[in-house]
């Protein structure tokens, strides 16, 4: 086999990862330049594989943002642990179809999906299946046309992907009864109880572990309590927050989580494995499987009790074996490593809040309970929203670090999310200095 294309990819990937800590954290090119670098007519004749890979790496390089580096604090990205990247390379090389690969013991109730969006979708499909089955309706067979109406109760701050999931599941935005939240975005349990008692048919409650802006957690124990009174299903969107379970210092935030019915999380966020990697966990394995099941003779389905076919637990049929990087990340970190990574990110978030919050004209707009920090910049005689947006665009242009803007409770804010395994205290201090320089200039 000619291995030169693989060697070229390896060399370019290592070059990128080794430089990620010092590359500008932002865009250093334009769309037009990238089009010019990568565009053009498709050549008549193919090019040598190694040349294609090496050229791709060279031409794309100016457009590659250091999102895997230690000073990218946008969205909730996370980087990629070396073990996870290595396992991801192997996953591509092995090219297994994990729809039917691993033969895990039956009954684990987990599906490896592409991300939080599909984890929420899978879990809510199982929820829909279960609550309608209790009402005597098999939605997998009969669909939704004449089914009893399912009410979904979600906090006003539910993530948009919950709505995305409900659209895909044929229930739509209007199936949601929005429940009041507090100043941090947490569902008010009493309002939930009141709303639940007004519902007559099947009900699903969508709770959240880790608000995408504040990092706040719904009070899961009280939410489960209220839901049980109405025989409602409780789904927890814990795209990044579920990883608080790995930390003794942060576990109290998700008290009661084990009493829910389904949980969505991402491995590509806080577990720091490459995109795309989400996990859908469902307690009621019968409902989970019924919601996803389709089969055909040529697939040679696993014999009952001899294992499981993974495509029966995910919306995807064929898919890459994204369980390998998850396995490698967990093995390389161990229990203590997961805990240390979560604690370190949270400590860094608190350090951001302490250093920024003590500077003149800067306030921290959330309770920093996890890895998220919301920052407001004010300058005398200027509109606070306008000045905060100006500081954010300066920070992004300076490219020492990167964090996004957001709007929380009607106010423009800088949103810092610390979720990369390789971020150090020095990275935090450098980033704070860059942020304050943008504010003071």
The footprint of ligand PLP (CB under 6 A) covers: 75-76, 115-117, 159, 161, 208, 210, 212, 237, 239-240, 266, 278
CA 411 to chain CA centroid, nearest Å = 24
Segments in 81-229 forming alpha helices (H):
82-94, 116-134, 139-142, 160-168, 189-197, 220-229
Q: How far is the CB of 284 from ligand PLP (least distance, A)?
A: 21
Sign of CA dihedral 333, 327, 213, 246: negative
Q: How far is the CB of 382 from ligand PLP (least distance, A)?
A: 31
- Choice between 217 and 387, CB closer to ligand PLP: 217
Q: How many other CB atoms sit within 10 Å of the CB of residue 173?
A: 11
d(CA 39, CA 28): 18
- Choice between 162 and 362, CB closer to ligand PLP: 162
**Rg (the chain; Cα; Å):** 23
Side-chain half-sphere exposure of 293, counting CA atoms within 13 A: 14
Q: How far is the CB of 116 from ligand PLP (least distance, A)?
A: 2
d(CA 245, CA 225): 20
Assess whether the previous peptide bond of 426 is cis (omega < 30° from 0).
Answer: no
d(CA 229, CA 227): 5
Instruction: Provide CB contacts within 8 A for 58, sequence distance 6+.
Output: 12
Q: How far is the CB of 114 from ligand PLP (least distance, A)?
A: 7
- Choice between 113 and 224, CB closer to ligand PLP: 113
Q: How far is the CB of 35 from ligand PLP (least distance, A)?
A: 26
Q: How far is the CB of 371 from ligand PLP (least distance, A)?
A: 11
- Choice between 74 and 99, CB closer to ligand PLP: 74
Using the structure block, give the residue that is written with the tokens 């920052």.
375
- Choice between 266 and 312, CB closer to ligand PLP: 266
Q: Using CB positions, name the residue nearest to ligand PLP.
A: 116
Segments in 135-274 forming alpha helices (H):
139-142, 160-168, 189-197, 220-229
Burial 375-402 (b: 16+ CB within 10 A, else e): bbbebeeeebbebbbbbbebbbebbbbb
- Choice between 9 and 220, CB closer to ligand PLP: 220
Q: How far is the CB of 383 from ligand PLP (least distance, A)?
A: 29
- Choice between 237 and 309, CB closer to ligand PLP: 237
Q: How far is the CB of 418 from ligand PLP (least distance, A)?
A: 14
- Choice between 267 and 364, CB closer to ligand PLP: 267
């Amino acid at each position: 086999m000619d291995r030169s294309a693989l060697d070229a990819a390896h060399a370019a990937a290592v070059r990128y990862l080794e430089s990620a800590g010092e590359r500008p954290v932002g865009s250093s090119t334009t769309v037009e330049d990238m089009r010019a670098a990568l565009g053009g007519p498709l050549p008549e004749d193919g090019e040598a594989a190694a040349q294609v890979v090496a050229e791709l790496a060279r031409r794309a390089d100016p457009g590659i943002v250091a999102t895997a580096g230690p000073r990218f604090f946008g969205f909730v990205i996370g980087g990629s642990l070396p073990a996870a990247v290595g396992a991801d390379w192997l996953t591509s090389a092995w090219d297994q179809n994990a729809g039917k690969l691993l033969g895990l013991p039956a009954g684990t109730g987990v599906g490896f999906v592409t991300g939080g969006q599909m984890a929420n979708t899978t879990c809510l499909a199982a929820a829909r299946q279960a609550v309608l089955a209790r009402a005597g309706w098999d939605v997998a067979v009969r669909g939704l046309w004449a089914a009893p109406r399912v009410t979904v109760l979600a906090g006003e701050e539910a993530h948009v992907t919950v709505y995305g999931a409900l659209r895909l599941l044929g229930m739509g935005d209007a199936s949601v009864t929005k429940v009041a939240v507090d100043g941090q975005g947490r569902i008010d349990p009493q309002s939930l109880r009141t709303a639940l008692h007004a519902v007559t048919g099947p009900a699903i409650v969508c709770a959240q572990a880790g608000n995408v802006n504040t990092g706040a957690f719904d009070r899961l124990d009280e939410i489960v309590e209220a839901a049980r009174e109405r025989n409602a299903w409780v789904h927890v969107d814990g795209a990044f927050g579920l990883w608080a379970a790995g930390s003794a210092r942060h576990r109290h935030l998700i008290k009661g989580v084990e009493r829910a019915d389904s949980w969505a999380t991402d491995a590509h966020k806080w577990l720091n494995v490459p995109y795309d990697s989400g996990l859908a966990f469902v307690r009621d394995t019968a409902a989970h499987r019924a919601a996803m099941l389709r089969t055909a003779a040529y697939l040679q389905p696993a014999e009952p009790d001899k294992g499981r076919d993974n495509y029966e637990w995910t919306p995807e049929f064929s898919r890459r074996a994204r369980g390998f990087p998850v396995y490698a990340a967990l093995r390389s970190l161990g229990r203590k490593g997961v805990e240390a990574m979560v604690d370190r990110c949270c400590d860094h978030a608190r350090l951001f809040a302490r250093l920024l919050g003590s500077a003149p004209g800067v306030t921290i707009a959330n309770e920093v309970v996890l890895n998220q920090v919301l920052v407001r910049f004010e300058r005398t005689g200027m509109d606070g929203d306008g000045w905060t947006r100006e500081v954010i665009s300066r920070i992004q242009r300076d490219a020492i670090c990167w964090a996004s803007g957001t709007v929380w409770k009607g106010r423009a804010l800088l949103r810092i999310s610390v979720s990369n395994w390789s971020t150090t205290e020095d990275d935090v201090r450098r980033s704070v200095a860059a942020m304050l320089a943008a504010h003071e200039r």
